[in-house]
A = this chain, B = another copy of it.
Amino acid sequence: MGHEGQRIGGAVGEAAAPLAERLRERGLRLTPQRRRVLAAVAALEHATPEAIGARLREEAGAEGSAPDASTVYRNLELLEQLGLVWHTHLGKGAPVYHASEHPHPHVVCASCGEITSVAPDLLDDAAERLAADLGFTVDVGHVALSGTCRACRERAGSEIP
């Protein structure tokens, strides 16, 4: 499962500062676990809670201790409330988290699972139509469009010529 996708924003370093600030605003504490979870989400670009946990374990190595799974879940939820990460539900039971300055939609290949970030304005037209017709406001950051990526389509094409 590859993971390229266009980078649209959200470098690792940028997220660290807002974290301390937003936590303070709410009287919450800046713990090393929170730093690490946010860093992992940012570094992995698109990751499930499990993958984030694995990454943290990896970073910690054999000696150091990685945050517990429950801590990862709790902090992902918190970080999302703070507006520092977003999550989307894709296939089966795999929510995907990603850190970014600006919300943007994603496309997911149903065949290989590759996730790609796309331009924030992709859905502007659709969003306008929905607002006009139904009074529905689309939350662009949570949108994931499923379909088939170029690589998988070409592969399928060559297998059944």
A110 close to chain B: CB less than 8 A? yes
Known A90-B89, A138-B147; judge A130-B107 contact (CB<8 A): yes
B contact residues around A126 at 8 Å (CB): 122-123, 125-126, 145
Query: Which of A110, A136, A138, A150 has the most chain B CB atoms closer than 10 A to its own CB?
Result: A136
Q: In the bound complex, do residue B139 and residue A146 qualify as a contact, i.e. CB atoms below 8 Å apart?
A: yes
Binding site for B on A (CB under 8 A): 89-93, 95, 107, 109-110, 116, 118, 122-123, 125-126, 129-130, 134-139, 142-143, 145-150, 153
A-B contacts, 27 of them at CB < 8 A, read A89-B93, A92-B95, A107-B134, A107-B136, A110-B139, A110-B142, A116-B134, A118-B130, A118-B134, A122-B126, A122-B129, A122-B130, A123-B123, A123-B126, A123-B145, A125-B126, A130-B145, A130-B147, A134-B150, A135-B150, A136-B148, A137-B147, A138-B145, A138-B147, A139-B146, A142-B146, A143-B145
